[in-house]
Amino acid sequence: MFPDTVKAILEGLNKGDFSSEEITTELLARANRHQPDFNAFITLDEEGALAAARQADEARRSGQAGQLLGLPFAHKDLFCTQGLRTTCASRMLESFVPPYESTVAARFRQAGAVCIGKTNMDEFAMGSSNENSHFGAVRNPWNTEYVPGGSSGGSAAAVAGGLVPAATGSDTGGSIRQPAAFCGISGLKPTYGRVSRLGMIAYASSLDQGGPMAHTVEDLAILLGVMAGLDEADSTSAEEAVPDYSAALEQPVKGMKIGLPREIFEAGKVGQTEPAIQAAIESLKSLGAEFVDISLPHIDLSVPAYYVIAPAECSTNLSRFDGVRYGHRCDNPKDLEDLYARSRAEGFGEEVKRRILVGTYALSAGYYDAYYRKAQQIRRLIKQDFAGAFQAVDAILSPVTPGSAFRIGEKTADPVQMYLEDIYTVPVSLAGLPSLAIPAGLLNGLPVGLQLTANYFRESTLMQLGHQFQLHTNWHQQRPSTSGRPD
């Protein structure tokens, strides 16, 4: 039986315990076997993955090195992969094969990693449950009647279900952290600009950020070291040195100050996750961390502000899909207007249409000042709240979500209730801060996540806190009984 963490697999490959071809063959078999159960993948690249694995094995035999040499993994299906279908889980891009590579995909390839396929997701990354995919809903490996979270639900399910040790995700308002929490894995949203967005199909350009998903914080540190760094071809990429994230892991947390927002904890808004969150606080206290009451006075305005800003940006970004240049095109249009209207009506799903309409309305003449400008002003206040808090603390702790995963179909009829699943993750996204989700307990047999947030480009602080927490708890070692691992 193969190990399921990035670190253990790389160690096994280095020692010659198994080859990349052997573990890749096994994971491809698991992915095929459990596709009817989890629906975690949109595209499996068996031929390409096995060829890359053999190439990695040959490189290792010849003494070549690579940070991830021979490691099998999966990409969320919005990272463009040259020559491999990239759909964004939409009918609009169902047949799109990019002629270019995203920077994230290129960096994984250069590090020697082996991509076995592209994971399912909410269409154009719009959703909190992964029910909004043209290719069908993804199912949570802990209980396949429940959602895995979204929009990176396919990546989270693939890792939790034992189909890959790691996967890429993207986070606009919580789309790495929420599925990580629902599926009992670790996920990191880096600082906005830390990971290149070039070749990552856009939802909301001022919010989207790629990041890693794996079982442990130790694995995230390895993966982020490959993903992060300046990309001169991306104007939103930060010119910030990339530290050795693994070096921070063994640093003690004694004396570190962690903030507890009174708008969450004193207002009684922790919800059903409270026992798990309180237990996590006690664990960190036992390690010497100090807890401080802080205030984020505008946090309650974050969800309405986000659901103006993100749809406004999506309405602009998705205007390029018009049936003319690429993507879905309707049959036999009678004129140009009919081409536009029917191609978009047929190509986009209901949630994508809803957000385009909301965003277009918010940007329209007469409403721009009342909605979009106001939302951006609230965004600035939220950033100022976090800036003030980080003058007193090293990190901020909160739940990832109000509860554990919900049943498939439970909230599809009420978009507002679905949007409120993002109540703890959206403020961080609006501020552009780095944030970590790690397993912290079980609720009714389903995972619960802990969120840690740090100041800009302080991912190492999150690695330090998260790894030390995982050294003293075993929630990250829990696996669902329905996983793809052999009995």
Which of 128, 129, 152, 175 is catalytic? The answer is 175
**Every domain of the chain and the residues it spans:** 6-248+434-477
- Is the separation of the CB atoms in 113 and 73 below 8 Å? yes
d(CA 137, CA 167): 18
Q: Is the pLDDT of residue 206 over 50?
A: yes
Maximum separation of any 2 CA atoms in the chain, in Å? 70
pLDDT at 268: 79
Q: Which residues contact 426 (CB under 8 A, 6 or more apart)?
A: 173, 174, 302, 303, 306
| Residue ranges in 333-410 assigned as alpha helix (H) | 336-347, 350-363, 374-389
Rounded-to-integer distance, Cα 59 and Cα 66, Å? 9
Residue 301, pLDDT above cutoff 80? yes
What gap in Å lies between CA 478 and CA 475, rounded to an integer? 5
382-417 tens-digit pLDDT: 999 999 999 999 999 999 999 999 999 999 888 888
pLDDT in tens, 68-79: 999 999 999 999
Residue 170 annotated among the catalytic residues of the structure: no
The HSE-up count of residue 169 (CA atoms within 13 Å, CB side) is 38
Residue 364 annotated in active site: no
143 and 96 in contact (C-beta within 8 Å)? no
Catalytic residue (one of 20, 76, 315, 411): 76
Helix (H, G, I), strand (E, B) or coil at 427: helix
User: To which H or E segment does residue 13 belong?
Assistant: helix 6-15
218 pLDDT more than 90: yes
What are the contacts of 372-377 at 24+ separation with CB within 8 A?
Answer: 372/308, 372/309, 372/312, 374/308, 375/304, 375/305, 375/306, 375/308, 375/309, 375/312, 376/305, 376/309
Residue 383 bears catalytic tag:
no
d(CA 81, CA 94): 14
Q: What average pLDDT does range 435-441 have in this prediction?
A: 98
- pLDDT at position 485: 59
Mean pLDDT of the chain: 96
Predicted local confidence at residue 483, as pLDDT = 58
Q: What is the mean pLDDT of the segment spanning 279-307?
A: 97
For residue 314, report the phi and psi dihedrals to the nearest 5 degrees: -70, -35
The architecture in CATH of the region 6-248+434-477 reads Alpha-Beta Complex (3.90)
- Element spanning 154, H or E: helix 153-160
pTM: 0.96
Reported as type and span, the H/E element at residue 395 is strand 395-399
Whether pLDDT at 486 is above 80: no
- CA gap 397, 277 in Å, rounded: 9
Q: Which long-range contacts (CB under 8 A, 24 or more apart) does 93-98 make?
A: 93/201, 93/321, 93/327, 93/328, 94/134, 94/328, 96/326, 96/327, 98/199
Q: Which two tokens stand for residue 338?
A: 């009919």
Percent of the chain whose pLDDT exceeds 90: 94
Can you read off the two tokens belonging to residue 180?
Answer: 């990580």
Locate 396 and state its tokens: 């901020």
The answer to whether 180 and 437 are in contact (CB under 8 A) is: yes
pLDDT at residue 487 in the model: 42
At residue 452, does pLDDT exceed 50? yes
Q: Which among 19, 128, 151, 237 is annotated as catalytic? A: 151
- One-letter identity of residue 474: N
Cβ atoms 213, 93 nearer than 8 A: no
Write phi, then psi, for 482 (nearest 5 degrees): -95, 15
> pLDDT tens across 312-364, in order?
999 999 999 999 988 999 999 999 999 999 999 999 999 999 999 999 999 99
Sign of the C-alpha dihedral, residues 94, 358, 432, 447?
negative
pLDDT, one tens digit per residue, over 259-281 is: 999 999 987 788 899 999 999 99
Asked if residue 204 has pLDDT above 80, the reply is yes
- Residue 122 is predicted with a pLDDT of 98
Q: What are the residues whose beta carbons fall under 8 Å from the beta carbon of 330, sequence distance 6 or more?
A: 323, 338, 339, 342, 343, 346
The partner residues of 143 in beta bridges, in order of sequence, read 140
| 395-399 vs 114-119, strand pairing mode | unpaired
